Amino acid sequence: MAGIGFELKKLFNRRTLTGHAMAYGYSAVITAGPFALLTTMVLAIQLLFLRYGIDGNDSQLYVSSVIYPFVFSQLISCGFSIIITRYLADCLYEGEYDNVSASCYGIIFMAQLAGAVAALLFYWDKPLPLHLKLITYTFFAEMIAMWLQMVYLTALKDYKSIFASYFAGAAISIALTWLNLQYGFMAPVEGTMLSMCIGVGILDLCFMVQIVRYFGYPSQAMNFEFLPYFEQHYKLFLLIIFYTLSIYVANFIVWNSSWGVMVAGTYLYSPRYDVITFYAFLSILPIMIMFVVSMELKFYEQYAIYFTYITQKGNLKEVDDSRKDLLYTLWTEFKNIMEFQLVFSLIFLALGSYFLTLGGVAYQDVNIYRLLVIGAFFCGILQVVYTLLLYLEDQHGALIITGSFLLANLVFGLAGQLVGEISYGFTFFLAAVLACAVAIWRLQYFCQRINYFVFCSRPVFFEHTNGIFTKLAAYMYGDKLN
């Protein structure tokens, strides 16, 4: 997350309870904001549907009309998101803000093109009314923009405004839905999706205003200055797609099984499996928040010292001592994060199983939930490890980890279909454990050979890329391109 560590450090340096609370609150807003926003809106609107006796078929159509944009907006935007994260981090490090706001417009434009093509192919032969397709596509496009704006928001200091924007977006969506259900201006599903479009659209607009206000108006209009990064860091693009796809591939496989439900001849999903998956993945929100706070501060400090000694002529003893401090901090914080998350996973195992049973969830589904909670724990650890490797510039190792996670999910998931329902949840658990083992092995391997990777495995001189993206950027901006 480009830039968030600088603000957190200021908050923790206050050494007050308020400062610490603000730091954790800021981390929570940045890491879990979109997830919490959508969850709040969907749960509140479903309660409104129950209150007004909306037909079950309409309720299913609404839920699936939200699930698809939420899931596939992440799949479309994730690769663009990590590329622009790298670009933004370089801009912040160099103190060059001239084209930051412009790059936000540019990356959203590119992602929207990819999203438009995907939506056109998906909706082309579907029987949904055209106006509902357009409304749902608009929501999908807004979600893509929000995921990408989140990268820039990590560098902003005004987390209160970010929280207020989330709250306003959710409140407006829920209020407009209530008005429509109360007075019947539109059909329930169409009116609700339009309400969510308005709420999220206002949210996106608020975010863009905050980004431009912080980074300045894009006077140079170099919207695509980041294009060479797609060639310089193509491994980043691939690895985040692999990881994001790995999270959902088990659901996609179940959708195409006997548990799958076709809604309105358009959306195929599995309410039974998706609901327990959703609750299971709620359990790893703490690790995301803890990682931002712990690793971005304590680990980054040692990381910066180590590379400062290397780049600013530190002697051999200083470099070696800083290396030892770096690795000690890395493994200490990694252990603390694992223990921290383990506590929450155990709580979710106990309370989740109890409340799901009270809610009338079948015993088999409760067992699947337990497996998914444990699998989510290993998935969270895997995410921490590959992020650490990206800090250490081991993009190849991170790609191996996420690639193995995706491959394991595909192999185990498809093999599980031969076994049947008894494999659901267990296949994801196996894939997560295997990929987590690969991740920890790679981290250990890198740490044991960190001197080699830092001093010997990188090119002596920076090599400029000269592919199609670099040529396109050079054609558009000429000498202005750095």
pLDDT of residue 36: 72
Mean of pLDDT values over 371-389: 92
pLDDT of residue 364: 83
pLDDT in tens, 467-476: 788 888 888 8
pLDDT in tens, 405-446: 999 999 999 999 988 888 999 999 999 999 999 999 999 999
Higher-pLDDT residue of 343 and 295 is 343
SS3 state of residue 267? strand
Look at residue 17 and tell me whether its pLDDT is greater than 70.
Answer: no
Task: Annotate 315-370 with DSSP letters as a single string.
Answer: -HHHHHHHHHHHHHHHHHHHHHHHHHHHHHHHHHHHHHHHHHHHTT--HHHHHHHH
Q: Are 419 and 430 in contact (CB under 8 A)?
A: no
Q: Are 227 and 109 in contact (CB under 8 A)?
A: no
CA distances from 145 to 99, 112, 123, 141, 207 (A): 18, 8, 20, 6, 10
Task: Annotate 120-174 with DSSP letters as a single string.
Answer: HHHHTT--S-HHHHHHHHHHHHHHHHHHHHHHHHTT-S-HHHHHHHHHHHHHHHH
Secondary structure tally for the chain: helices H, strands E: 18, 2
SS (H, E, C) 284-304: CHHHHHHHHHHHHHHHHHHHH
Q: Band the pLDDT of 4: cuts 50, 70, 90.
A: very low
**Which residue's structure tokens are 């609404």?**
62
Gap between the Cα atoms of 4 and 257, Å rounded: 42
pLDDT of residue 452: 79
Q: Which two tokens stand for residue 354?
A: 């109890």
Q: Are 264 and 61 in contact (CB under 8 A)?
A: yes
Higher-pLDDT residue of 459 and 83 is 83
Helices (H), 233-284: 234-255, 271-282
Smallest CA-to-CA distance from 155 within 225, 87, 106 is with 87
Mean of pLDDT values over 165-169: 85
Q: Are 384 and 435 in contact (CB under 8 A)?
A: no
SS3 state of residue 392? coil
Q: Beta-carbon neighbour count of residue 411 at 10 Å? A: 14
pLDDT of residue 158: 65
pLDDT in tens, 55-75: 888 989 999 999 999 999 999
Task: Annotate 65-100 with DSSP letters as a single string.
Answer: HHHHHHHHHHHHHHHHHHHHHHHHHHHHHHT--TTH
Q: Which residues contact 357 (CB under 8 A, 6 or more apart)?
A: 363, 366
pLDDT of residue 2: 45
Q: Which of 28-32, 353-357, 435-439, 473-477 has the highest mean pLDDT?
A: 435-439
pLDDT of residue 461: 55
> Which of 34-43, 370-379, 414-423 comes out lowest in average pLDDT?
34-43
Phi, psi of 261, rounded to the nearest 5 degrees:
-125, 130
Burial class from Cβ neighbours inside 10 Å (0-12, 13-18, 19+) for residue 13 reads exposed
Gap between the Cα atoms of 180 and 187, Å rounded: 8
Gap between the Cα atoms of 280 and 277, Å rounded: 5
Burial 250-283 (b: 16+ CB within 10 A, else e): bbbbbbebebbeebbebbebbebbbbbbebbbbb
pTM listed for this prediction: 0.90
Q: Beta-carbon neighbour count of residue 99 at 10 Å? A: 25
Look at residue 307 and tell me whether its pLDDT is greater than 90.
Answer: no
pLDDT of residue 296: 61
